[in-house]
Amino acid sequence: MVDPSIFWFYKMKKHSLKRGFTLVELLVVIAIIGVLVGLLLPAVQAAREAARRMQCSNNLKQLGLALHNYHDTHLTFPGYTQVPGVGGGIGMYSYPAQLKFLPFIEQSPLYDQIRTNSREFYLNAGADSTTQGVQVPGFVCPSDMPYPIVGRLGYNNYVVSAGSNLGWDLTPLTRHNGVFQPQMGTNMSAITDGTSNTIMVAEQLTGDNDDSSYRRETDNVRGLSWSGNESTQQGPITQAQLEAAGAACDANPSSHSSVSGSRYSRGIFTYTVFNTVATPNWRYPGCYKSTSTGAHGSSAGIYPARSRHNGGVNHTLADGSVRMITDTTDLQVYHAMGSRNGNETIPSP
């Protein structure tokens, strides 16, 4: 006779066994988690970029305030390039506006060091060695990549506006129609188009320091061929002229410069100056007239504002306000905003 307790034991053991996940159920859970992560990641990335864009906008706001304080002190904005006492005329080693307003962005010790090392901005290249390893936080957009040379911390994302002209050695001087001019200052009374309608500062991207590869959005091609008006002070610069020039440069990038934004110690295009000849984030590379491989922006050319923000570039206007100007902005409107004294009518944003 079988002991009834045995049946009771097996019955209890059967009910005590817990049911686990099947392979199919596990795969479904993993798939659901993957979908949720896929939905969340873009939102997280968008939130991070929004924070970076806000920090960039705040940097530009502070630069606008600094320039206004500089103007209040000196009754003029600085020129975008100052020729050193030695080393010849306007050239690669000219001093930029950025150095002049360092005391107004809480960088007085750095400014004093530069003044000492350059003998009051007299020596050729007197600021390079001082600034190469010194990062100024207010000159860096967090959305962009750092300049890729180890120890080169003195790079720059914020450039002053030369206006709607090719700039540099353009003559006569009246054709330099931006808030910043070469070798001379501009005061508020010269901004006859209105400070709320005139661009003062914008963003640029840093280069990759690799002339063996070509990146359209950060490189500047040498050998610009230009036959139209060199300044909107002469007359219109048309979209067709820009398209033809840009396409020609883009088709022949064998000689280009990859050092955009690599320093804030020199008052030349690609480093510390831009112009509003082409609209923000122009689809062609920056392009300048010089064919010399030693030229990195010390030449008349097209130097667009650029950023890694979606859809546009942050700009500081001459009244100190900051505005995102979109990539699709009308060319003639952008030219009008770049000019300080063109008497153009600009539509409300």
> Is residue 346 situated within a structural domain?
no
| pLDDT surpasses 90 at 264 | yes
How remote is the C-alpha of 80 from its chain's centroid? Answer: 16
Which comes out higher in pLDDT, residue 94 or 139? 139
Tokens in use for 331?
Answer: 């060319």
Q: How confident is the model at residue 181 (pLDDT cuts 50, 70, 90)?
A: very high
Q: Do 60 and 52 touch, CB atoms closer than 8 A?
A: no
CB environment 252-284: b (16+ within 10 A), e (fewer): ebeebbbbbbbbbbbbbbbbbbbbbbbbbbbeb
In this structure, is the dihedral angle defined by the CA atoms of residues 146, 215, 304 and 255, taken in order, positive or negative? positive
> Is residue 46 situated within a structural domain?
yes
Map residue 86 onto helix, strand or coil: coil
- β-pairing, 301-302 with 286-288? antiparallel
Q: How confident is the model at residue 8 (pLDDT cuts 50, 70, 90)?
A: very low
**What pLDDT, on the 0 to 100 scale, is given for residue 153?**
93
> Is residue 263 situated within a structural domain?
yes
> Is residue 25 situated within a structural domain?
no
Query: Looking at residues 278-285, what average pLDDT do you find?
Result: 98
Strand partners, 317: 199
Q: Which domain holds residue 216?
A: 32-338
> Is residue 129 situated within a structural domain?
yes
> Is residue 27 situated within a structural domain?
no
* Total domains, the chain: 1
Query: Looking at residues 181-192, what average pLDDT do you find?
Result: 94
Query: Looking at residues 132-144, what average pLDDT do you find?
Result: 96
> Is residue 121 situated within a structural domain?
yes
How many CB atoms are closer than 10 A to CB 5? 7
> Is residue 16 situated within a structural domain?
no
Strand partners, 322: 316
Which comes out higher in pLDDT, residue 48 or 323? 323
Which comes out higher in pLDDT, residue 150 or 192? 192
| pLDDT surpasses 70 at 103 | yes
| pLDDT surpasses 50 at 271 | yes
H helix or E strand, kind and range, residue 199: strand 199-203
Q: Do 162 and 313 touch, CB atoms closer than 8 A?
A: no
Phi, psi of 269 (to 5 degrees): -60, 155
CB environment 104-130: b (16+ within 10 A), e (fewer): bbebeebbebbbeebeebeebebbbeb
pLDDT tens by residue, 45-65: 677 888 999 999 999 999 999
Tokens in use for 248?
Answer: 């020609």
Percent of the chain residues past pLDDT 70, beyond the cut: 91
Pairwise CA distance, residues 107 & 114, whole Å:
11
pLDDT tens by residue, 62-79: 999 999 999 999 999 999
**What pLDDT, on the 0 to 100 scale, is given for residue 340?**
97
pLDDT tens by residue, 190-229: 999 999 999 999 999 999 999 999 999 999 999 999 999 9
pTM: 0.87
